[in-house]
Structure 1
Amino acid sequence: MTLKLHSKRNQLIVILTALLAGSLLLIGAKKLQAPQAEEMLLTLNGQEATAAEFNWHLQMNRALIVDYFKQTYNADYSKDFWSAYYSGENPMQKWINTAQTQLLTKRMELQLAQEAGVVTDISFEGFLKEMERENNRRSQAAANKEVVYGPLHLEAQAYFSYYMSNLEEATIEAMRSNGSIVISDEQVKLEYAANLIAKYSLPGTIRLEWATLPFGPETEYKDQQKALERMEKLHAIATATAATDSSGTGFQDQAKEFGVNVGEVKITSASRRTAALENPKVLLTAEQLAPGEISSLFAENGAIHLLYCLSADDAAVQPLDHVKDAIALNLAQQKYRSIVDEKLSEAVVEWNYPMAEGLANQTIQ
């Protein structure tokens, strides 16, 4: 009886052992068959930045990196460009690091905007939807004959700048409202006093006699050198007589003798922006002239130019009341940038460089 019971107990142990082993094998098999979690490229304070978002920033910066190495090292683009080194700098590494820095900064600014209540959806998909919505709005506005500022369709780089600029502006406004950014009247006064001349003065009016001689296929002087030689003769005579003539009349007469067009112009604080866009060399040269002084010859916009300064007024200081709001906004923008930098320095960042390098290599294939 005892032996029989023992035998049955042994059989039961064997059966239980077999069942347990089978269960463990089944669990192990299930673990092996279970899909692995998708590998993450980058996280900022626990929020993931997707590979698609990083690749978007790679695409935006590709041409900029190529141009940087061309301008800095005169490096031409070739099949070996991304793997080459120029004075210790590698295009692939710089490209990846630039895209990463841009992405991290954007992610931090989005997090701050979300905390300030400016946006709710800070996903990359939400960002792309906003771009599509803005471009649709512009197209519809154009179709309705409404004014559209800027291009009718914003490309990636243009929209990124547009979106982040508007986001920064809205976030700063919200942070000033909730007290996260505070700019005191004393700070404004100190900034005003420290940069009174450099920043808060309106340039004085400059009166000029402006002589121009066009050159090119549709002008009398087909060759630039011929036009330059003509203007050199005018420059020599005008310089010799400038000391005794402050009216500009002599300069006008001399220019007419050489068949050179000359006219009096005024550059004011209001017209400076237009001048900087249309004739930047003329503006820069005019600002360096003293009354009665003649400029050197220079070429711009298909013409040789010569300037004679009739008068130059002193800069006019703007009253504090006229600029205090602009100063406060500028100081708030500086504070915002410092907050972004500080938050980034304290952030928890997880970064998968090999994965980023793989994405970059796929992009250039």
Structure 2
Amino acid sequence: MVQKPTPISSVRSRADNWTLRQLSEEALANVLSPYSRSRWFTYFVVFLGMVFVATRGVEWESLQLQLSELGAQGRNVVLVESAIDGAPATIDRLSCEALTTVLGVERAGGVSDATSQDFVQFGKSVQVYSSSTTLFPLLSRANILLGRSLLDLPPGEGSVLLGDGWSATALVSDMQPDGIPTNTAVLGAFSVEEEQLTACLVVLDPYQRAEEAMPQLLSQLKVRNHPVAASPAIRDLVNPVDQYLARFSRSFPIGIGLILGSVMALSIRSRSSEIATYRLSGTGRSSASVLLFFEALCLTGLFWLSGSGAALLILGFNLALLTILSELLVVAGVAVFISNGAAYLVLRRSPIALAKDR
């Protein structure tokens, strides 16, 4: 009786009666075993996934920092007022506050003309404004807000406002961007009788383009007496979101997929003798092809899992997470495609020819 060649330790000698479950288990053993010849490549794939996400995280945090700095300068603030100097328009307050329901709008509302009042802890002639609760959500929790620059306390912290013979409980407001003049003022809510405004302030989502949003904002307002115009507190010379979307590194997923796939292809090519052992042990070409496909799925799956874990750790749940997860899938897809092409070319050769590659 002729003895079959003895395969390497991870290979079970059998006729070609592999099931998909057995092939998947064999692929996992080949990829994850600490004794596997390709274990260092497995470690490299995991490391590559984490490094890729780390670079994406740096880019995302850089964009957030840029948007935060520009936002503090009033990039997201749009002022709607009369288009004619010296001729105030009349804007319906409810229509202004209703802009908060428009996609891309974070806050909207009116701010009254400033008056001044003396306070014990802040001195004389402190500016006082009335405003909409839709523009200052903290006004729904307290009747009075104190500008963030008046007190060195965190936003939302309670304090006591002392006037001439009276006192009131107040909350510290968030720091407002340029274009909303309340950081050094005392702020109260509009009374129900305040139905008309001369100006409407809108704070946009930082990813929203003000020029694109302004026509829709104007169309939603109910205006009388004179036409109104919208203008941002500052205008972008270069939109940082457009820069981020047009960056060269946006094409990196395909490039990394090509690199990872090429390395996987070289790994398959270097395992010719191991593949020959499978084939000479009775494994058919189709089963060997499925085995190599499962190995590619395992490797790219490890890449995706390591990258996904790093993304959750670095970025948490935000807009960038879904983009990065989809980019990881692109890398994995390209790598599997190239790896399958290499496997097809290797498996076209006879087992004897593969064995001679030892």
TM-score by length of 1: 0.22
Greater share of strand: 2
Higher normalized contact order (CA 8 Å, seq sep 6+, divided by chain length): 2
TM-score when normalising by structure 2: 0.23
Larger radius of gyration: 1
